[in-house]
Structure formats: structure tokens, C-alpha cells
Structure 1
Amino acid sequence: MNRIFWRFVVLVVLAMTLASCVIYFTFRLLSGDPLEQIARSQSAGQIFLLEQYIDQAPADEWLARLNKVREVSGVTLELLPLQAALPALPSGQRDALLRGQVVMDVAGKAYYRRVDTQGARYIGSDDDVIHAQHLPIDIGNALRMEAIRFAVIALFLLVPIGWWSRAHWRDLQALSHVADDFGRGNLAARAGATSSASIAPLAGRINDMAERIAALLEARKHLLHSVSHELRTPIARLEFGMELLRDRHAGDDEALLKRLDAMETDVNELKTLVDELLNLTQLDHAQAMPREPFALAPLLQACTPPGTQHFSASIAPDLNELQGDPRLLARAINNLLGNATKYAQSCITLTATRSERLIIMIEDDGPGIPPEARTQVFEPFFRLARDEDHAAGGYGLGLSIAARAVQLHGGEITVDTSPLGGARFTITFP
């Protein structure tokens, strides 16, 4: 069963229960207590015997007929003083008894009625009340019949609702799977709801949205890829031109040589940026990658951060193997270590453990990353607006490449605050 169906079940049962209560109190207000009417109908024979047999006797034979009925009937008939019977009744029924009407006692399976109101049966008969007990009243059976009627109506309501909600739930589940596939990078995932399905309009809008998003992402990827490739040609020309200038004016103009060195540094930075863009584009286009088992502990031991900060590694020996591309994962780890090197003051740590999941943590004692920017740091070209980031250099692509590489291996990467005071990047593999 699905959640939609059970919500309908609860809703229908609550609605029917509320409707039953409203009907009961409405009928009670308009025409009396329905339970009392049921009890009166079940006691109709005994009331008929009183009104059409005993009461029809002449005044001097009334008590004799009453005694005769006592002998042959299973109902107990007693005469009570009026003042003794009134306290046993609710206030709403006392007036009816005083008017000479039959008053039902549903819980006691009995009824009360005055002998008469004029004292015509015998002396003092207007002060006596007939109390009939052990009447064939069975409210429980009536309530069981109502419960069966309630259940049958609920069943006939819930069967078509269940059929409809099951089909609706399957369509929603299919739509959810499409959204999951699209979120995981399968840009070709589309909802396949039929035109007769209740969610067909929603599926159509989702498909239109997916088409536009896929087109925008593909355009972005192709733009980055094309720009990166097209930049290689002018960069190569610049390098060639600088080499020619260096050869022609070697030793002649020291200022020109210094300027050429500065230009060469700029060109190398531009080449690095182009290479990073190409790497990011290749990872974005990669829906799958060659997978091979490789030992994780040696790979992590071979990763060391550049720089002079104190580096310590705690790598568990039982990390076993991981399926994937070892060079790509090593690139991700080295990118994180390189990022830590830029901001750490004196300490960088790498920790790898395996329990239910494989966890790799890289920490530093730098300024850290503000909570509001911890998801944005994995976006391409994102850099924090602070002096440390601009002084550290870079292009804001290293963390994007690391996140994409980890994602291709089926893991996820998060960042929070390290006990060392800086940032702590945590890579988790299932």
C-alpha cells in the first residue's frame, strides 16, 4: 500500500465518523434519541400488551389482567410509587412520565409508565407507576448492524479510491525516479506518463523544464569546452612570440627580459586555467568512467600537500579496495590538500577510516569557510570575498573538480569546521 491510500483511508473513516455523529445528534434534536427509538421498537410487543390488553380491561378487572400478564410473560411488571420512580429518570423524561407517556430506560432494559392520571383504575392509581423490566432490548445488536453498514459503505468507498490512488502513486513514483535520475546527471531522463494519467500535465511541464535545463547545461559545457580549446592557439602563439623576442634580444635589454619573464608567468597561469577548464569540462561530460579495483591506503599515502606546513596522516590499514579511477581520485585528494596548503597556518591532517562507510577527512588550521558559503565553494569560479582568498590565488576550480571526481566514484563531499580551527573536508563513500 502507499501513503496516499492510507491518508484517504484515514480521511474517509474520520469523515464517516463525523457524519455519523452529526446525524445522530441531529436526529436526537429533531425527533428524540435514536437509541431510545430502537429500544422502543424492540419493546413494541410489551408496550402493545400494556396499552391494548391490560388498559382495555374494566376498572375492576385491571389489576387481575396485570397479574395474568405477570404469570405468562417473561417481563417483570412492578408497581412503584410515582415519587420513587421520578428520581430514577433523567430530568428530560420526568415530564413525559407525568403526562402518562411510556418512558424508556435503555440501559436498564425497562420502561416506566403511570397507571393512569385520574385515579380511575383503583384508589390511588394516579400515584403508581408500572415498571416493566427485563425487556427484549438488545442495543448491542443494533449497534453491530450499524457498524456493519458503516464498514460496507467504507469498503465501497475505499475500493475505488484504493484503485485510483495506487495508479496515481505509481505515476508519482515514476516521476520521482525521473527527478532522481535527472538530479544525478542523466539529462536524458524524461517522464513517460500517458495522456490519460492524472499527472500528465505535471509530467509534461517537468519534461519541458528538463529540456530547457539540459539545453542550458549542454550549451554551458560546449561553451567552456570550445573556449578552452580555442584559447590554446593564441596561448601557443604568445609563447612562440616571446621565445623569438628572448632569442633576438638575449643579453641586450635587461628590462625587456624582465618583462618577458613576467609575461611568461601570466601565460603559464592562463595555460593552467585552460587546463583546469578542460578537466572540469571532461568531468562534467563523463556519465561513467572506467572502473577498476585499486588499493586505497597506498593511494592516500602517496598524496602529500605542497608547502612547508606540518602534515600528519592517519590512514587505517583496513581500507581495502575501491572501484574507480585511482588517478582521478588522487587528483581530488591532492586538490583538497593543495587548497588546505593555501590557507593553513601551520598544520594539515589527513585521516582515513572505514567502519560502515569509508570516510576521508582533510583538515587545516586556517580561517575556515563560513557556513553560508559551504555549498557554494564547490561551484566553478566561486571565491570568498576576503583577503585570504585573493592572496592565495587560484581560479575557484579545484574544489569543483574534486567534488565531481568524488561524485563519479559514488561518494559525497562536505565541509564544516575542524577542531584545528580551519576547514574540514569530509569525503564519504558508501
Structure 2
Amino acid sequence: MSVILTKLTFSKRIIIYLITLLILQCIIAYGALLVFDALPPSITGVPEDHTVQRDSQKGTVSLIRMQINQNKNLSVQQVVDNLQPLFGYPITVLEADVLLPPSVKKELDEYGTAYDEDLDILYVSLDSHDILKLGPILMRDILESDFMPFSVFIFLWSLFSVAIFFILIYFAFVHFWKDLVNIRKTAERLGQGDLDARTEDARSWLFRPLASVLNNMGVHIKHLVTTSETISHAMAHELRTPLARMRFELSMLDEARSDEERLQYRKGLDEDIDELESLIKVSLSYFKMQQSQFELNLTEVPLKEWSEKLCKSLTLFKPENFELECNSQDDTALFDINLSDTIVKNLLLNAFKYANSKAIFSVFKKEDKVVFVIDDDGPGVPIEFRDRVFMPFSRLDTSRTRTTGGYGLGLAYVKLIAEIHNGKAFVVTSPLGGARFVVAIKSGD
């Protein structure tokens, strides 16, 4: 049944649900009537049929008795025969010793009248000790009606109740249904590889968070796939350089004429192997950090003390006659100190490489963020390359050799660590004339 429903359109499903609901409502209505009829009058407040019939026929019984008393010269049967044309049901005179059901007999002795619900007959005791039998009286309740009228009643009652119920349910859940259909279609498109698939804004409060999570997941998956493709192509390009040098060095090794020349080529091979190992190591480290859920080790850090210590540790890496200025707000912030060290060290080492003679490192708190700013007086980063410099294996300087080093992962690490801190990293023009790298991370305060 569920497989069939999944292949039907929305309108056809509605019709099937409506018909099913109507059938169930008919069954429920009939069952409810049976249960209600079986309940005692003390609960339902509706008197039993024999009581209703006995009370409703009091006037008729009194008039018959009055006619019998006024016509003493006639027998009871003669009076009844004279009255019979006035009634729509038969009236019969029974002897006093006629056999009656015990419950009817008891009621007749107590009230002078009794009603047999099974046969729809009213019994009346007379002063002459005879018993009048009135009926069968055709006054049945709905449960004793003919099948067709009863079925029509149940159907009409169910139809109206289903229509009202369905309208209420439709307007109450139509937004839930549409949102669920949109979310399912988006999930199917994502599963088929359409990474641009996004669900519409959900109208219902129940599925609004689910739609948001699905859209965020789509964005994240697309980012991961795009980044992975970029990294794969970039890494393949990075591997070509040392492999080409190794191939050249191997061919030249066979042609070497002296031990000194062979030693030089072997040294070159060792260095290229080391470079390959280093490239693979840093690449795997970056992939691991990117793919896994990284847990931050948050620490309360005094910004001024931390920044001064960090700048001092990098003194040996500065070029000659290079000026490094450190400015810090005298405050504390909660962040991962190891990852933040990595951010600042990568940015400052980058400044040492490209700046002319000066770099300024500033750190301060702004609302719920900790902001790192590195200015330099180098050539800067052209506007069209400012997004690309944070991509893995991306370098503006394409002339990297074994001596210059670097794989273009330093700034990629900076951006990734910033995102792990729910922050961001970007580059603009510095007041010093070069590049200004800005990293804002969320403080745990």
C-alpha cells in the first residue's frame, strides 16, 4: 500500500485519504451508536424504550379504559371492535392468564401497562382482569430501521463530519505537507549529486529548522567537494615539480663521471624525497583538520603578555634590519592558544617573506570577537587574488624552488583555524602600503 501511495500525485492521495476516512467514519459512527444505545439511562440521560412507550401511550390507554367503563352493556371485545378502526395497529383482548415474558409481567403488575421492546407491543390490564394487547406499534428507533434508511443516515452523517474534519486538517497541515515534500525533493537532488539543490524557506515551525539544516548541509557538502577537487588538482601540480627533478637527477646519475658529481645528484634526490614526504605530511594534516570535528582547547589568555611573548619567539626568523612592532589591548580573552599561535606565526612569517622592512602585529577584543591584524609594507595582494590566497597550494609567487620552500598552505591553515573558531580571515590594503591580513575569531567569554 505504501509503495502504491508513493507513486501517486498529491491530488490522488487526497482522494484516497478522503475515501478511507469516510469509510472509517461510517464504521466509527455505527459503533458509537451501538455503544451509546447499550449504556444505561443513568449515564446517557435517555430513558429506556419501554418507559418511553409506556408513558407516551397513557392517553390512549385512559381513553380505551374510559370507553369500556362507559359501555358496561357491551363486552370488552365489542368495545374494542368498535374502536379498532380508529387505530393504526391491532388491538386484541387477551385472557388474564396469558403467558407473558417475566419482565413484561412484572411491569404490568406494577404499572398496569407494560411494553415489550422485542415485539413492539403494549399490554394494558383492565378492571375485568382481561388484558389488552396493542400492537405491534410501528415506532422503531434508528438502530432497528431498515438497512437502506439507516445506511443513508450513517453515510450522510459521516460525509458531513469527514468534510468538516478534513477541511480543518487540510488547512492545519497543508504547510507541513508542502514543506516535507520540498525537503524530500531537495534531499533526493542532493543524493543524485546536484550540490546546488536548496529547499525553499519552510513555512511551518516544525520543519523550518530541518530545512535550514539541510540547506547548510548542502552548502557544506558543496564547499568540501569543491575544496577537495581544488586541492586534488593543486596537490597533483605540486607533486610534479619534485618528481620531475628526481627523474632528471636519476638520468644524470647514470651519466655522472665522478664520485663528487654522483654525490651531488644523490643529495638532490634525498632532498626531493624529503620534500615529497613533507608535502604529503602537511597535506594530510590539513585534510584531517578540515574533515574532522575539531575540539577547541579554550584558555583564558592575557592578550598583552601573549602577544609580546609570541613576537619575541619570532625574532630569530626576522630578516636583517626588519622592524616588527607588536600592539596589544590590555585585556583577556578565551580562545585556543595553540591554534591562535599558528595563525599569528603563519601571518608574521608570511610578512617577513614579502614585506620590505616593517610589519605591525595588533590584537584586540571587539564585542565577542578577538581580532588579529598584521600590516606590512610589501607589495600587497591585488584585489583579484585576495580570495585565492587562502586556497590550499595557492601562491602569488609561482617561482618556488627547493630553496625558497613553502607549499601555499600557510594562509589556508589561517582561514581554516578561523572558521573552526566561528570566525573569518580576509586581506585588504594596509596603511603601510602593503597587505593587511585580518583574522577575527569568536571569543569564548
TM-score band w.r.t. shorter chain: 0.3 to 0.5
| Greater radius of gyration (CA) | 2
- What's the TM-score once normalised by structure 2's chain length? 0.44
- What's the TM-score once normalised by structure 1's chain length? 0.45
